[in-house]
Amino acid sequence: MTLNPFLRLICSLATLLSLSFQALATVSVVDDTGQNVTLTAPATRIISLAPNITEILFHIGAGAQVVGVVSYSDFPPEALKIAGVGTYDQLDIEAILKLQPDLVVGWSSGNSAEDLKTLEELGLTVYRNESKTLEDVASSMQQFAALTGHSAMGNTQSATFLEGTLSLQKRYQDRKNLRVFYQIWGDPIYTVNGHHLISHLIDQCGGTNIFSGLETLAPVVTTESVIERNPEVIVAGVYPGPVPEWFGEWNKWSGIEAVKSDHLYTIDTNHISRMGPRILLGMQAMCEAIDKGREGRH
C-alpha cells in the first residue's frame, strides 16, 4: 500500500523536526580538565562528589535533579535529605551505581582519580570540576547550568556572583591597607600563603596577608612569628558555634596591634573555605572585619 505522497512529506518533515529537537537536547560541555562531556539530554539524575558542587547545583536550580551527594553536603538544608555516596576521598562506588545517575560531577583534585576513572569504565558520564578562583566558581555555575538544562538561571546567578565580588573589591580594595593575619586552626597555628584564595580575598578587601611570602600553601607557624609581624587584624575561620579556645589565647599577647585595639574576628569557615556561591558571604565578612580594623582602637 503506497502512502499518499502528501502524507509522506508530512512524515519526513516530522522525522526531520524530531531529529533536530533531539540535536537541540544534546549537551556537550568541556570540563575543567579539558575533557569533552556529552549528554544526550540535560541530566536528571546527578551525583555530586563534593559539598561545594552540591551547593552550586542547588544555586542554579538543579537541586531537585541531585540524587546522591558525599558527606558534609550540608547546604542548603534540603541537601541533607539526599542519599549519601561516601566521602569525597572515599567514594562508595556501589551506592553511586545503585542510584543510576546520568551525570556524575566530580572534584578533580579532591576525589581519587582512580575512582573517577572506575566510574567512567562502568559506563557513567563524569564531569570533572576544579574551582580555584572566584571566576572558576562563576564559570562552574554556567557549566553546571548547561549540563542540567538551567542555562538561563545559571547565567543570571553567575553574573550576580561576579558582580558581587567586583563590587566588594571596588568598595574595599583601595581603602587603607592593613596587616592581616588569617588563621585556619590554633593548635598548631595554621595559616595560608599568598597563593591561597583566602589570601587573594584579603588583598581584594584592602589587606595584606602577613604570611603571603611563604612557600607552603597552608603552613604551620610559630606564635613568635605572628607577634613579630604584628598584624593589625586577626581573622580566624571557624565552624559555627562557640569561639574556639585557641582564638582567645591571642589576648595574652598585648604587644600585638590587633590585640591592643581589639580587632580579633571570626568568620564562618563554611563560607570562605567552600568554593561555592556562599564564598561571596565569606568575602563580605572578611572585608567587613578588615574594615572594622581601620576604625582604630576600641
Which residues of the chain form contacts with another protein (CB under 8 A)? Answer: 72, 184-185, 187-190, 211, 214, 216, 219-225, 227-229, 239, 244-246, 249, 252-255, 269
Nearer to another protein, 44 or 253 (CB): 253
Nearer to another protein, 109 or 223 (CB): 223
Largest CA distance in the chain: 99
| Phi, then psi, of 11 in degrees rounded to 5 | -60, -45
Nearer to another protein, 112 or 223 (CB): 223
Shortest gap between Cβ of 219 and another protein (angstroms)?
5
Provide CB contacts within 8 A for 268, sequence distance 6+.
237, 238, 239, 240, 281, 282, 285
Shortest gap between Cβ of 113 and another protein (angstroms)?
18
Shortest gap between Cβ of 99 and another protein (angstroms)?
24
DSSP annotation string for 26-95: -EEEE-TTS-EEEESS--SSEEESSHHHHHHHHHTT-GGGEEEE-TT--SSGGGGGSEE-B-SSSB-HHH
Cβ(142)–Cβ(117) below 8 Å: no
Strands 27-30 and 36-39: antiparallel
Nearer to another protein, 72 or 132 (CB): 72
Nearer to another protein, 170 or 252 (CB): 252
Shortest gap between Cβ of 194 and another protein (angstroms)?
14
Shortest gap between Cβ of 231 and another protein (angstroms)?
13
Which contiguous run of DSSP H or E holds residue 107?
strand 103-107
Shortest gap between Cβ of 189 and another protein (angstroms)?
8
Nearer to another protein, 44 or 87 (CB): 87
Cβ(247)–Cβ(186) below 8 Å: yes
